[in-house]
Amino acid sequence: MLELKNVSVRYPGMKDNALSDLNLSFEKNEFVCVLGKSGAGKSTFIRCINGLQQPTEGEIHFDGTPMSFQKEELRQIRREMGMVFQHFNLIPRMSVLQNVLTGRFGYRSTFKNLVGWFTSEEIQEAKRIIAEVGLTEMENRRVENLSGGQKQRVGIARALVQHPRILLGDEPVASLDPGTSNRIFSLLQDIHERLGLLTIINVHDIELAKRYATRIIALKDGELIFDGKPEDFTSAEYQETYESEQQNLFFQI
Amino acid sequence: MWFKKRSLIIYALLVVAIFISMRLTEFDLTKFRDFRNMIDFLSQWFPMDFTRLPGMLEDTLATLAMAFLGSFLGLIIGLPLSFLAARNTAHSKPVFHFFRVALSFVRSVPEIVFGLILLTTLGLGPFPAVLAITFHNIGVMGKLISELIEAADTGPQEAMKAVGAKRWVASLFSILPQIWPNVLSNFFYRFEVAIRTSLILGFIGGGGIGQRLFNDFNTFNYSSVSLDVLIIMVMVILVDSLGSFVRNRVI
């Protein structure tokens, strides 16, 4: 369904690649967690998939066709991929319902978006999804008055209303407490199982990854160092993923 | 401890600058020995003459209308332009530079110059004054709002892109709600400034309470001048409190 072929990313002015020569393929029904230290390239990896970051080399194939970075085609690909963010990235001063409805923007005409004409089906659908993520009766609350966990639920609802085929998460629980993180992950798992969405999520927390993922990918300095089942990600792999070069040096001495 | 050698030089330069400025502006407090003249003059302001109050209120309304139209049209035209003049939302570098330069050009021309130029085709009256205020405010609002746009949080903008929204729809929806309270407070400030400007424009025939004040002054009608001034003060205070009321409601 989704395939990365020799994907590399190098930011302008940087000596090293942020991602080096990644070759990966993903199928429907996978729940993938991406592990790695800060700066290992996790974010860059996720952002490549929906074209927020253009690879310097290589190609990304979606349903067998290489992804284009042409404005219109990119837009059509993006609306099939929902994304949730670390800082939620909701639109302030708008209600839960309004925020969720912006998830439909990719499918509607500019004029309809500007005047805010939504069909009653679209509104019913948005309300149904808001209830599904556990925010029943909250659709008219302003998003800045919600707690962190509730905000992320709005973020998830906004992604779901797109009817995406892939759900991406860039550290969606990094600014939440452990209990809330756990509940958000189990919501993501529910959705994944019910809709059969390919779900790819960056996390810090290896416990969460091992509990929920069906597949773990580990990145280090932009390179793939692990790709396999959660049960195969043992303390040796953990060491390799998270140890720093300074520690290496220390041990060598 | 607090005074370094280099800052002493700066203080010395400031003193010199003050001294030179005083010479150039003939700043001389001893001139106040004729203070009595001012008292005599001001005593002619009272008692106030209320006989022409209805006409004054009518002119005040005209001034308010001028200021409101000028600043509001400036906002409506300046707002879209500001998106073209902000680094993060302009389509390309040349577009950004063109609109930045255009806005600062419009801004650099004082309203009174616009007014004097427009008088030649439009004649006397409030209409050229409204246009003059509008032009200047397009420049000011465009610049202020484009700076707000550049400082807006990029998170929501990224989310709107990820949803597959068209670029400018994404910018509009992710940025405008964020900056809206600041846009309003800039608007009300400019509205207040526009009232003062329309007074000055009244002096060159722009109509409104400004022109009446100028006429009353030139015809030595001081008991009316005092009422004009009072009305102007009340108007400015009212607009100011309306502004803070709306701002508080919005935030």
Domain extents for chain A? 27-40+71-213+222-252
**Phi and psi, residue B92, nearest 5°:** -150, 165
Residue A33 pLDDT > 90, yes or no? yes
Q: Residue for token digits 């949080």?
A: B153
Of B155, B158, B160, the CB nearest to A105: B160
pTM above 0.80, yes or no: yes
Query: Which of B211, B191, B231, B189 is closest to B67 using CA atoms?
Result: B191
What pLDDT, on the 0 to 100 scale, is given for residue A2?
93
Provide the β-strand partners of residue A32: A200, A215
CATH number of this structure's domain A27-40+71-213+222-252: 3.40.50.300
- Enter the ipTM: 0.88
The length of chain A is 253
Continuous H helices in B44-166: 53-84, 93-108, 111-122, 126-151, 155-162
**Phi and psi, residue A21, nearest 5°:** 50, 60
Q: How far is A109 from chain B (nearest CA, A)?
A: 9
Residues A17 and A9 sit within 8 Å (Cβ to Cβ) = yes
Say what percent of chain A tops pLDDT 70: 96
Which residues of chain B lie closer than 8 angstroms to A103, CB-CB?
163
**Phi and psi, residue A148, nearest 5°:** -55, -45
State the sign of the Cα–Cα–Cα–Cα dihedral A127, A132, A135, A137: positive
- How far is residue A87's CA from residue B156's CA, in Å, rounded to a whole number? 9
Residue ranges per structural domain of chain B: 57-250
What pLDDT, on the 0 to 100 scale, is given for residue A187?
95
Decide if B178 and A93 are in contact by the 8 Å CB cutoff: yes
- How far is residue A93's CA from residue B7's CA, in Å, rounded to a whole number? 46
Size of interface A-B (CB pairs under 8 A): 75
- How far is residue B140's CA from residue B71's CA, in Å, rounded to a whole number? 10
pLDDT tens by residue, A58-115:
999 998 889 888 888 899 999 999 999 999 999 999 999 999 999 999 999 889 998 8
Alpha-carbon torsion, ordered A199, A205, A206, A211, to 10 deg: -60
Instruction: Tell me the two tokens of residue A1.
Output: 């369904």
Architecture of domain B57-250: Orthogonal Bundle (1.10)
- How far is residue B222's CA from residue B228's CA, in Å, rounded to a whole number? 10
Residue of A nearest to B159 (CA): A89
**Phi and psi, residue A19, nearest 5°:** -135, 135
Low-confidence ranges of chain B (pLDDT < 50): none
Residues A78 and A51 sit within 8 Å (Cβ to Cβ) = yes
Instruction: Tell me the two tokens of residue B38.
Output: 């001012």
- How far is residue B147's CA from residue B160's CA, in Å, rounded to a whole number? 21
Sequence-distant (6+) residues with CB within 8 A of B196 are B236
Decide: helix, strand or coil at residue B88.
coil
User: Does an H or E element contain B244, and which?
Assistant: helix B222-250
Is B170 an interface residue toward A (CB < 8 Å)?
yes
- How far is residue A242's CA from residue A220's CA, in Å, rounded to a whole number? 8
Which residues of chain B lie closer than 8 angstroms to A82, CB-CB?
162
